[in-house]
Amino acid sequence: MSSDGAVSLSARLHERVATAIGRAGGWLPFDRVMAMALYEPGLGYYARGSRQFGALPSSGSDFITAPELSPLFGQALARQILQALDAAEADEIIEFGAGSGALALQLLQALGGRVRRYSIVDLSGTLRERQAERLAAFGDRVRWLDALPDDLHAVVVGNEVLDAMPVQLLHWDGSAWFERGVELDSDALRWADRATALRPPCDAPFVPGTTVEIHPQAQAFIRTLVERLRRGAAFFIDYGFPEAEYYHPQRTGGTLICHRAHRAEFGDDDPLADLGEKDISTHVDFTGIALAAQDAGAEVLGYTSQARFLMNCGLLELLRGADPRTLAAAQKLIAEHEMGELFKVIGLARGVSLDALGFSAGDRSHRL
């Protein structure tokens, strides 16, 4: 995408958001703005033809995800998925937010004929084209769903999907809570707070000036998924923490983060600039995810770091005899200062009994 093209898409998106603010009476909550910035058809970050995922900024990409980093991510995860498919007597995988199709390719290659059907649900139409190209060799076994079926008998997987779901922002000024949203200042977008009855999910001695996120959309997504999961399991991998860490009083700025050209751009005011040109995400509150799943009838199979999970799934055996390049990439998946500790995996199940391989050592469910 040329910078001129990006500027005009961004300007059009800005105009769209401004119109939505006008229609809503002069103020939009942040989750509505984030949804438009990421998914507005043809204009949002995930809804344009740009190449978000890749190893290096020189490819025009903005960030790298685990399946892009190393196929060993998918190969190790495949072992967990196979165990869950067997336990559920299922032969379908459903992937949410399949990005470039890298994980789908790794899972289909690793699991061969054991997977009769691989269904992808992605909000982004442009990514769907890219996935179709990459997965063409698997023919009719791969399909794309516009809506989640009512009755699921499958193993579900999602890497870095929950972090891309719009969040609401709450601001504590020392005496009251406000919902942070966006209003117009002439033509410019600016932050504006409104009194609210919304609260963070737990009490803490919050410092005046604190801004936190709440995640009703991600939790509603999990509830719907579990309600429809008749028999199967789900594994979500993402950066995040349990509630007590998430809403720690020292975390005064929340976790909202923007990514462009492999640079993380922290800061409250960044998301409103250059709309649609950068990724906006937050960390995941895994306690909220576990509670939503349990409320809807699922069992939490386990919760642990990505490093633990992948090693429990046999990553180290897969690395035997690997060349130095492969080893270096795999190292990033499990190193504490890279993806190994910040990224977590949560496993959920309904209608199956499963002693999940990925949580066999180092399960941290008790910390949720």
Ligand X SMILES: C[S@@+](CC[C@H](N)C(=O)[O-])C[C@H]1O[C@@H](n2cnc3c(N)ncnc32)[C@H](O)[C@@H]1O
Residue 99 in the binding site for ligand X (CB under 6 A):
yes
Residue 166 in the binding site for ligand X (CB under 6 A):
no
- Indicate the residue among 104 and 298 with the shorter CB distance to ligand X: 104
219 and 295 Cβ atoms separated by less than 8 Å: no
- Give the one residue of 9, 33, 84, 121 binding ligand X; rule: CB under 6 A: 121
- Indicate the residue among 121 and 300 with the shorter CB distance to ligand X: 121
Work out how close the CB of 49 gets to ligand X at its nearest, in angstroms, rounded to a whole number.
Answer: 13
37 and 276 Cβ atoms separated by less than 8 Å: yes
- Give the one residue of 16, 78, 96, 235 binding ligand X; rule: CB under 6 A: 96
- Give the one residue of 31, 122, 179, 243 binding ligand X; rule: CB under 6 A: 122
Work out how close the CB of 158 gets to ligand X at its nearest, in angstroms, rounded to a whole number.
Answer: 7
Residue 131 in the binding site for ligand X (CB under 6 A):
no
| Interface positions, 48-77, toward ligand X (CB under 6 A) | 53, 65, 67-68
Work out how close the CB of 160 gets to ligand X at its nearest, in angstroms, rounded to a whole number.
Answer: 4
What pairing do the DSSP bridges indicate for beta strands 142-144 and 152-159?
A: unpaired
Residue 164 in the binding site for ligand X (CB under 6 A):
yes
Q: Is 116 helix (H, G, I), strand (E, B) or coil?
A: coil
- Indicate the residue among 159 and 304 with the shorter CB distance to ligand X: 159
- Indicate the residue among 329 and 352 with the shorter CB distance to ligand X: 329
Q: Is 296 helix (H, G, I), strand (E, B) or coil?
A: coil
Helices (H), the chain: 3-23, 30-39, 66-69, 71-88, 102-111, 125-134, 216-228, 243-246, 286-295, 306-312, 315-318, 324-334
Piece of the chain touching ligand X by CB under 6 A; list 154-162, 195-203, 204-212, 260-268: 154-162
What is the amino acid identity at position 40? E
| H or E segment to which residue 321 belongs | none
Query: From CA 103, how far away is CA 93, in angstroms rounded?
Result: 12
Q: Which of 159, 47, 161, 164 is CA-nearest to residue 103?
A: 159
- Indicate the residue among 126 and 210 with the shorter CB distance to ligand X: 126
Piece of the chain touching ligand X by CB under 6 A; list 90-98, 130-138, 177-185, 294-302: 90-98
Piece of the chain touching ligand X by CB under 6 A; list 3-11, 75-83, 115-123, 227-235: 115-123
Specify the residue for token string 């600039």: 273
Residue 124 in the binding site for ligand X (CB under 6 A):
yes
> 260 Cβ partners below 8 Å, 6+ apart?
62, 274, 277, 278, 279
Residue 34 in the binding site for ligand X (CB under 6 A):
no
Q: Is 307 helix (H, G, I), strand (E, B) or coil?
A: helix
Binding residues for ligand X, how many (CB under 6 A)? Answer: 22
Nearest position to ligand X, beta carbon:
97
255 and 283 Cβ atoms separated by less than 8 Å: yes
Look at the alpha carbons of 185, 189, 190, 196 in this order and tell me if their dihedral is positive or negative. positive
Residue 161 in the binding site for ligand X (CB under 6 A):
yes
> 146 Cβ partners below 8 Å, 6+ apart?
none
Residue 97 in the binding site for ligand X (CB under 6 A):
yes
Q: Which x/- pattern over 215-254 shows residues binding ligand X (rule: CB under 6 A)? A: ------x---------------------------------
Question: Rule CB under 6 A: which residues touch ligand X?
Answer: 46, 53, 65, 67-68, 96-99, 102-103, 121-124, 127, 159-161, 164-165, 221
